[in-house]
Amino acid sequence: MAGDETITEYIGREAGIGRLKALPSDSPHTPRRSLWTDAFAVCTLAGLGHATGESRYGELALGLVDRVHHVLGRHRPDDVRAGWISGLADAEGERHPTCGGSRIGKPHPERAASAPVDDRLEWDRDGQYFHYLTKWMHALDQTTRSTGQPLFTTWARELAHAAHQAFTYVPRTGGPKRMYWKLSSDLSRPLVASMGQHHPLDGLVTCLQLEATSPGSEPSLREASADFAAMVDPRGLATGDPLGLGGLLSDAYRLAQLTPPHADADGLLDALLAAAAVGLRHYVAQPDLGARAHHRLAFRELGLAIGLAAIDPAAWRGASGGVRSRLDQLARYAPLRA
């Protein structure tokens, strides 16, 4: 980036498209964003651009990345703090918009340090979720893969480095490292101290993906990868939650696509697919799918539907016999996607 050039100007210049198109529903008066939803939107737009060959989808994806960073990479309008949540000055923050993480985009401000915990209200309060950050890392990496511009994976690596530093910790009582579920917007304090079942797995697979895209680049993710790998317990991955199941299948597929392949790909892949098979057996035995719509959470079931799309054996070129055997076992659940 040159001089006082903004992210928007830089991306437009690098992509050769001049001024980025605004998103149709965007308005400076309603800067509402959701990091989770926007991550999927960036991937979808990139995919549409690849499938149709139409440049407008890629332009919208780049514009969305820019908008997310300028809204969720900065403090809320109703916060007494202002500027980039990383604390960087404006010009430096433009160059490194992810090194302070990214807010979730929830409707209410984060819980004050002196406020009591309210589990119900916490769901609607802002802050940072690790599993939202890994989705955004993936979206940025896909943007590099679709545009050929390394800047986005660099931002993803800076986000991965910041997330690893903030979310992992050694318990005061000793023992192996653990992870927080939710931190404050500035990454200074935990808001939910429990550890997500698949957080280390998401971190590991995402770091391996970023390393495959830009081997040996900075910042180094070697320590982060090692920490996440040490925290992954293959025996504890099974879950009956549809979103968690979708995540297992999606992570397995992402791991299988890595080039160069992960050193222990077959062992980890087998653990992921075996855990997914156990979880799916449990899930289909529950009454969830027969419940009325207002008792169900669409985004959780959509997560499973996305994951089920990954078990198509034709998409796993070069998979070992053991992995293909697991896929054959999972194929019986493919109709559940519809």
Structure token pair of residue 262: 């992960």
Per-residue pLDDT of the chain (338 residues; tens, 9 = 90+): 555 555 555 545 544 444 455 555 555 545 679 999 999 999 999 999 999 999 999 999 999 999 999 999 999 999 999 999 999 999 999 999 999 999 999 999 999 999 999 989 999 999 999 999 999 999 999 999 999 999 999 999 999 999 999 999 999 988 999 999 999 999 999 999 999 999 999 999 999 999 999 999 999 999 999 999 999 999 999 999 999 999 999 999 999 988 777 777 678 999 999 999 999 999 999 888 888 988 888 889 999 999 999 998 777 877 788 888 999 999 999 999 99
Say how far residue 277 (Cα) sits from the centre of its chain: 23
Structure token pair of residue 315: 């998409």
Residue 135 and residue 193: Cα distance in Å, rounded? 20
Hey, which residues does 182 pair with through a beta bridge? 129, 192
Burial letters 189-204, b for 16+ CB under 10 A, else e? ebbbeebbbbbbbbbb
Residue 63 and residue 57: Cα distance in Å, rounded? 10
SS (H, E, C) 234-263: HHHCCCCCHHHHHHHHHHHHHHHCCCCCCC
Which residue from 58, 26, 64, 63 is spatially nearest to 45, judged by alpha carbons? Answer: 58
Q: Are 195 and 212 in contact (CB under 8 A)?
A: no
Amino acid at 158: E
How many Cβ atoms from other residues are within 10 Å of residue 238's Cβ?
A: 20
Residue 304 and residue 241: Cα distance in Å, rounded? 9
